[in-house]
Every structure is written in C-alpha cells, then in structure tokens.
Amino acid sequence: GEISEANEGNNTRAIALRVVRPDLLVQSVTVTSSVAATPSAVAPGLPITVRTTIKNQAVAGGTAAPTVLRLYLSSDATLDGGDTQLGDDIPVPAIAGGGVVTVSRIVPIPDTTLLGPYYVIAQVNATNTTLEADSPAQGNDVKAMLTPLTVGPDLVVIAATPSPRTTAAGTTVAVTNTVRNAGGQATGAFDIGIYVSSSNVYDGGAQLLATRRVTAGLAPGAVSTAITSVALPDTLTAGPYFVIVRADSAGEIGEANENNNSVAAGVTVVVP
C-alpha cells in the first residue's frame, strides 16, 4: 500500500487454475505361451509372454510420471496376498493425459506351480508412487486376463461318434473317438474308456464296454483318434442310451482340468 491510487479496488485479479491428476487404467492383459502348439497352455517352469496395455484416462495436462508394473499368477481373477509375482518390477514410461502404452515382458511360470487354470493379473502403479485421481482406491490399476491360462496337461475328448446310432441289444457299434491334449505339458500313457449309460453324464452307473491304450502319451496339442468296436450288452432294454468316451479312464494322468474328460453321444436300442 505504498501508492495512493484513484481506484484501489482494481489492484487484484484471480485466474482459475485447474489441477489435473493422472488416472491410470489397465485396459487389457494378453498372455501367449511359449508352447507353440497350445498358445493358451503351458507347463510349470516354461515362459509366457505377457502384453499389458495401459491408458492414462486424465485430460491433457494430467501426465502420469514413470511408474512400475507388476505381474502376478493367481488361481482366480482377484489380486490378493496369496498370489505369486512373476518376474521383477517392470518400468512403465511417463504417459500423457489420454495416452496409451503397451508393455511386453517374458516371465517364467514357477516350476513349483500346481497343475490347474490360472489368471495372470497386471497391476500398474504397483508401488503407489503416483498420486492418481482415484487414489487411494485405484481400482482400475488392476486387471486380470479374460480367459485363464492352463498349466499342465489337459486331456479333452473332441469326438465321440457311434455307428450305427440305432441298433439292437447285443450288437456291435463302431465308436469313433478322438482325444486331444489341450494342455501345455506332455502326458504319459493312458487309457480311453468306452461306456454305455442311461445318462449323458459319466458316473458310477456307466458300464465299461472297452478300452484302448494310448501307449506313447500325447504331446501338447497332439491328437489320438481311433475307431473302437464295442458290443452293447444283450441285457439292455429298448430305449435311449448314451455311449460315453472318457479320456484317462484309469486316472493315471494328473491334469489341469479333470472335469472335461468325457463326452456322450446318444444311441437308441430297439427290439429286433
């Protein structure tokens, strides 16, 4: 106030200043196995390639400083303290408001991993060094891959076709049966069982008609197919039945998924 002025009411002016924080979002997580025959399946100890796409949802000016990405292996799609970090922290460069970056990293599946389905989960700003618009929750900093990764062998019946479909009790039916190892790890030898049942779900009531042995096992992605002739029991009464093809019928192979080993196909038994 050193100067006396004609108008003391116009000495101050305010200018609006908008402070914008960054808002990081993990848009997608894609995983590719190092097993070429089964891109979505791998064996314990083998590497996978993980591509993580990250967006800064802030408007211009809300630049996110360099941060850290972490990858985890989880038995479900939710990140928690029981999950295993894959590899080391991954640097993420600064991202301008509205900008997108994709980070790719090859990481190993721990060789102690139990067989089963797993999710790879990505977490950006994992060390919380960047103050975000949605802090402290930062729920969109974490995202899991959409479809789980298969770790280990996984035998799947992909064809079960009896011929003829309509026949009499006691007659022979030719069953085309095909099994694929959809997993990322080779199997040892195993049996394929052919059953008949009144239900289309394999259970203790299914009657074993024949087995065939896959002596060499199956490599990842490999297929075994055969036509197996079976005799329907002459005690069957007229009506609808199911021929069931079951992979690893003796339970010799540890698998990532034990619930996809059977496929049923309908047959009709008639009175001659």
> Looking at residue 127, which CATH number applies to its domain?
2.60.40.10
Strand segments (E) across 141-202: 142-144, 149-151, 155-163, 166-168, 172-181, 190-197
Percentage of the chain exceeding pLDDT 90: 85
| Residue 193 within any structural domain of the chain | yes
How much is the pLDDT for 12?
65
Q: What's the whole-number mean pLDDT along residues 243-257?
A: 98
Q: What's the whole-number mean pLDDT along residues 3-29?
A: 74
79 and 176 co-located in one domain: no
177 and 102 co-located in one domain: no
Q: Of 131, 151, 171, which one is at a domain's C-terminal end?
A: 151
Least Cα distance to 126 among 21, 32, 54, 58 occurs for 54
Q: Of 151, 171, 200, which one is at a domain's C-terminal end?
A: 151
34 and 146 co-located in one domain: yes
Q: Count structural domains, the chain.
A: 2
34 and 141 co-located in one domain: yes
How much is the pLDDT for 132?
81
Q: Of 104, 121, 151, which one is at a domain's C-terminal end?
A: 151
How much is the pLDDT for 18?
52
How much is the pLDDT for 167?
97
173 and 266 co-located in one domain: yes
- Evaluate if residue 208 carries a pLDDT over 80: yes
* Strand pairing report for 149-151 and 116-124: antiparallel
The residue behind tokens 């085309």 is 176
- Evaluate if residue 17 carries a pLDDT over 50: no
| Residue 197 within any structural domain of the chain | yes
How much is the pLDDT for 14?
62
49 and 120 co-located in one domain: yes
Q: 56 is in which domain, residue-wise?
A: 24-151
| Residue 94 within any structural domain of the chain | yes
What would the pLDDT profile of 81-135 be if each residue is shown by its tens digit?
999 999 999 999 999 999 999 999 999 999 999 999 999 999 999 999 888 877 7
Q: What's the whole-number mean pLDDT along residues 151-169?
A: 97
What mean pLDDT is reported for the chain?
A: 94
- Evaluate if residue 242 carries a pLDDT over 80: yes
Q: Is the peptide bond before 164 cis (omega within 30 degrees of 0)?
A: yes
